[in-house]
Structure 1
Amino acid sequence: MSLYICINLSVQATVTTELNQVLDEEEKRWMETLHIEEFQITLAKTVIQRLQVDLERSASINRSLGSRVAQCSLNGLADFLYSFQRKVEMFHEGMQSGMFGDNEDGYVSKTIALVNCCPPFRGFVQRCAQCDPSVSEDSLRRANKALDHIVQLGVRVLSERLYLHIRPFSERLVKRKWLSNTEPYEQIEALIKEHFKKYHRMDSPPYQLLVAEVHRRVVMEYLRSVMRGRIICTSMKMRKRMAGRLRDEGKQIKVLFKDLESPSCWLDGAIAHLSEIIQLEDVPSIQMEVGVLVREFPDVRKKHVSAILNIRGLTRQSERQEILNIVKDLESSEAAGGSMPTRERLLFHEVPVTSEVPCLNLGLSRVALSASACFTALRPRQRRGRKTSQETTEDGL
């Protein structure tokens, strides 16, 4: 028994003292090498190799001793990984505050390198826990929680930095000029491809989390542009034109993220369904398409469908109500059944409807004139000549 105690104490001292020293030295190196693009660091390899020596030595004596040393290693490793998490958090806080200067390329590569430590650590943690799963449960949970946090932080940092680059072009989507100008989307796609030349250096499975988050963000921001209602279709020709642009760019997004190996193919139908709702002519077909949309994206609400009906210029209240009732009925049936979408399958809940078209109870042929009349009634009458209804609509866009 004295041998067991000595070995356990030796392992514990190794994890809490020697490995923390390795971590301190590694943290110092992060700061000194920010000007260098490196996507892999040796921290995980160094720690695992050092602990592996004790595991193999104890297992060669007998199975019971090997199990004890594995448990001791896991306990100490859980504490070590929490310290690693805290240092990663401080590194990101320092970079985002500008404490270490402007080293974007080095910051991106170092973020990926830190995340790349997590898969080998997770595999080693799992191996230690298998020696005695019932005893290891708490340490396993703490270790995985720290690793999850490091991965999530890295994914958030990288996806947000990419979004800052594409945001100016997202603001130009789904405006009147967008109908005849493909540049905004083309610039977004080019920026994503350029960033993923580096993002591809992230190991799996964290890479899948990163590309899935970028995929979700791009689709969500596209939907936000649609829901702003900056285009109102006043003819069948215009509806077909807008629906075609949505359909084409939706397909391009699908192909882009398929090439990037996104696991979130469930996102691909959202833009396509909106395109169909805008283009379809008869109410039953629109109702069917709305039903499919809501079943695939259960967080769609009446305000989202109403905004699309506004965009397509559907003004008859009776027809609008028939279509909106589909959303209401599906919401009621889901509430009764208690089924709710998981967090991973939410999309529309973060998509606000930021504009409403007034006077939609009037006929389609009078939309432009009615909108102008409603606007005029809310402002003081001016002496100079009025603009035409077409000019008023275009100014608003």
Structure 2
Amino acid sequence: MKHACCQLIGRRKLQGASSGENTPMLPKEAQKERKKQKSEGIKIVKKIASKLLKNLSSVKEETEEKPVDKESGGRQYLSDQAICELIDQAKFLEACNHIYDLEQSEHKSEINIDSLYKKVAERMWSVVQEEISGGDRMLLEPLKSVGASLKWGKEKEKEWFDSVKDMESVSTWSPKYWNKDLEKLLMECMATQIPSFVSASNTDESALKDHLNQLETTIFPNLRCKRDVFKEAGLLTTYTKCCNACLSSHLSTLTDGDMSFSKCLLIYEWGFNMYRSEKLLMPHWTPQQRLLADAYVLKWIFSNVEEKLLTVTQKEVREALRQVITAGEKPYTDTTIIQVLTGRAQAVQHISDTIKDKVEAVCLEEILHFLHSYKHEVRSLLQLDTFSETYSNLQILENCCIFRAAWHKLTYIYSASADTDAKVKEFIDSTEEQSRELLRQAITSKVKVALKDHFRKDNRDFHKFLDCLRSSFSRFEMKNTETYETLIQTVHHIIVTEYVQALLTASGKSSKRRKIANKIEADHRAIQTLFEECFGTASLDDPIKGILDFILLTDIEAMKIQLVFLLVKFPDIRKEHLNIILDIKGSLNGTDRNAMLEVVYDNCVRVERGHKSFFEAIEIKTGKYGVCGCCCCY
């Protein structure tokens, strides 16, 4: 081609020389034609020369920039500089393919492959950042290239795994981590657009509502408007995942620290309403998947908020239940307990059945935990009470009544399992029985002290004890219960038994019979008043009135009838007990008394008796004042 060009130029020169010699002899028209042809020839030569130079430059560039892989039979590869130009032009997929070709060739030792992949990643992330920060449609093609490159990375990774070779290289291959890097970048970019929230008060809900409203009306619309661009780029799934992960993280931040149930519920409900109104970026579900959407969203986006909501529920229910056993405070009613255990479930039931069931489960679990711990705290609670052990025991018994009544009603509200039902009842029953035993011990101890010198000294310790008991029992409100009925019988039996024992075993010089009778009469009236005022009954049988009536009798036959009455009604009375009663009366001589005693006692042995037991534990000891040692023996 170069030779042809030279010949053409030479020929033109010869033509020009010959024409110059003959110029004077040609007419003017012919000269003009010659000049025109000469001009056109020069243009043709320039055009040919330009094409030649362009072809030569292209051949030289290809020869310099594309090294030849000897084993590949002359296959050509781009230089790192050319690849960097592709990266700068946002042709990421094309750059990745060339880098991968170099990576598989013998030239990989000549070029820093990791550095090229790093440049690709840096440029891709800058494109993503620009788009998130407010980019326009001009970035769509680069963003598409980002999506294609990430897809390419997954495919190449799979090819390597399928080939089962050089697994160590696969684990360190940087494109393998591009998807995670993109997620991290998107999360960071989105987080910077969400303002932080600082509450001045734990109970201030207005500021929280304002913040959530700002998220709903400003922040999330800005994130949603980028959805179409990322969808076209093939990155919608990743973008959606990061949006919701960022939301979940921010909502978790809002629930950090000490938070009330109402504020936590406000956040949870807001998020769920955002989902229902389709204001969140959600995956594309099939109709079948849509049926499980509620549970999916709760687990995926709101798991941390849900966990916080359940934790706060547990904490507040536990604190409310513990107020029932706070010493010195009036117990709650069963209605209050039911409100504590159902109020939070009712507050969330309009959101979804899923969260309602979970809140109910927490409440049931908490009442089990509370009753179990309460059972073991009863003794320590009484040890902390330095004076009013009786009231503490009564409060425990009343708490048991409250929980039993509340649980009975709760079984119609909650679907508690048979195992849970059995455990609750066992905890209540065992705690009640333990408290009843401690109450019996406390009352027995106090009444013994009050009656220690009751029949030898003129003191009012016994009546003070009854007044104290009246004050304690007056605060007991669960009177229409089986527990209270059992309590009446227990307390009555303790007081009467200890009183009779004190009467029959008191030692010392006797006072006048009439004075003792007056004392017994006043004491019996006080006991009756206690049971009438606090227990609503005075019909419980006791031997005190029978003993008093016998002491006041003067007729021998009437005395016999009264003794028979005592033996029939109180079958555990023994001969030594009757002997002491006769000694207290003191109006019979020894012969008549013993003869009457033998006749009456022997005749009553075969008589069917009742089941009252007041004398069984009373032991009569001989004292220095007579046969029995009672206060009436001389």
Q: TM-score, normalised by structure 2?
A: 0.40
Question: Which whole-Å deviations, capped at 9, do the CAs of 1:347-393 have from their partners, x for residues lacking one?
Answer: 22233323479998xxxxxxxxxx9xxxxxxxxxxxxxxxxxxxx99
Residues 1:201 and 2:498 aligned together: no
Match of 2:621 among 354, 357, 360: 354
Distance in 1 between residues matched to 2:465 and 2:595, nearest whole Å: 45
- What per-residue deviation string (whole Å, max 9, x for no partner) do you get for residues 241-273 of structure 1? 544543343234323432333546324x41121
Question: Greater RCO between the two (CA within 8 Å, min separation 6)?
Answer: 1
How far apart, CA to CA, are the structure 1 residues paired with 2:416 and 2:570?
39
Q: Which amino acid aligns with 1:138?
A: A
Does the aligned pair in 1 maintain the 2:543–2:566 contact within 8 Å?
A: yes
Q: Deviations over 1:177-215 (max 9, x none)?
A: x6xxxx33x442134224533442233236666665444
Q: Please name the residue that 1:22 is paired with.
A: 319
1:99 counterpart residue number: none
SS in 1 for 2:540: helix
Q: Distance in 1 between matches of 2:335 and 2:373?
A: 17
User: Is residue 436 of structure 2 the alignment partner of residue 152 of structure 1?
Assistant: yes
Distance in 2 (CA, whole Å) between partners of 1:125 and 1:248 is 44
For residues 201 and 157 of structure 1, do their structure 2 counterparts lie closer, same or farther at Cα, with a shift above 3 Å needed?
farther
Distance 1:229 1:104 in 2: 27
- Mark the CA change 1:297 to 1:45 in structure 2 (over 3 Å): closer, same or farther: same
3-state SS of the aligned residue for 2:606? helix
Q: SS at the partner of 1:203?
A: coil
Correspondences of 1:126-205 after superposition (within 5 Å): 126-129=408-411, 135=418, 138-139=422-423, 141-149=425-433, 151-152=435-436, 155-156=439-440, 159=443, 162-163=446-447, 167=449, 169-175=450-456, 183-184=458-459, 186-194=460-468, 196-205=470-479
Conservation of the 8 A alpha-carbon contact between 1:55 and 1:69: yes
- State the secondary structure of the residue aligned to 1:329: coil
Identify the range of structure 1 (18-27 vs 296-305) with the bigger mean alpha-carbon deviation.
Answer: 18-27
**Which one-letter code corresponds to 2:499 in the other structure?**
Y
Once residues 630 and 429 of structure 2 are traced to their aligned partners in structure 1, the CA distance between those partners, rounded to angstroms, is: 53
Contact 1:299 1:346 in 2 (8 A): yes
Query: Which residue is equivalent to 1:277?
Result: 550
SS in structure 2 at match of 1:303: helix
Summarize deviations over 1:277-301 as a string: whole Å, max 9, x none.
Answer: 3343455422321222233333323
Q: Which moved more, 1:294-303 or 1:149-158?
A: 149-158
The within-5 A match list for 1:317-356 is 317-330=594-607, 333-334=608-609, 341=611, 345-355=612-622
1:265 counterpart SS class: coil
What corresponds to 1:120 in structure 2? 402
Q: Give % identity.
A: 15
Query: Does 2:373 align with 1:83?
Result: yes
Say whether 1:104 aligns with 2:387.
Answer: yes
Q: Structure 2 vs 1, CA of residues 304 and 16 (structure 1 numbering), >3 Å: closer, same or farther?
A: farther
Q: Tell me the SS of whatever aligns to 2:620.
A: coil
* Aligned residues of 2:564 and 2:604 also touching (Cα < 8 A): yes
User: Does the aligned pair in 2 maintain the 1:250–1:271 contact within 8 Å?
Assistant: yes
CA distance in 1, matches of 2:631, 2:422: 62
Q: How far apart are residue 223 of structure 1 and its match?
A: 0.8
Question: For residues 300 and 294 of structure 1, do their structure 2 counterparts lie closer, same or farther at Cα, with a shift above 3 Å needed?
Answer: same
Q: Deviations over 1:119-168 (max 9, x none)?
A: 3211111123457899476345314314423642563475357437xx2x
Change (3 A) 1:220 1:142: same
The equivalent residue for 1:299 is 572
Q: 1:155 to 1:71 in 2, by over 3 A?
A: farther
Which amino acid in the other structure matches residue 104 of structure 1? F
Report the counterpart of residue 216 of structure 1 in structure 2.
Answer: 493
Secondary structure of 2:455's aligned partner: coil
Residue 100 of structure 1 is matched in structure 2 by none
**500, 512, 524: which one pairs with 1:250?**
524
Q: Which amino acid aligns with 2:455?
A: V
RMSD: 5.2
Gaps of 5+ in 1: 31-36, 97-102, 335-339, 361-370, 372-391
Please tell me whether Structure 1 or Structure 2 has the larger radius of gyration of its CA atoms: 2
1:82-139 per-residue CA deviation (whole Å, 9 max, x = no partner) reads: 221112223224x37xxxxxx536x776655544433321111112345789947634
> Structure 1-normalised TM-score?
0.59
Task: Report the secondary structure of 2:476's partner residue.
Answer: coil
Q: Which amino acid aligns with 2:408?
A: Q
Number of corresponding residues: 322
Work out whether residues 85 and 149 of structure 1, in 8 Å CA contact, stay in contact via their aligned partners in 2.
Answer: no
* Corresponding residue for residue 51 of structure 1: 341
Distance 2:536 2:492 in 1: 7
Q: Does structure 2 retain, via aligned residues, the 8 Å contact 1:115–1:150?
A: no
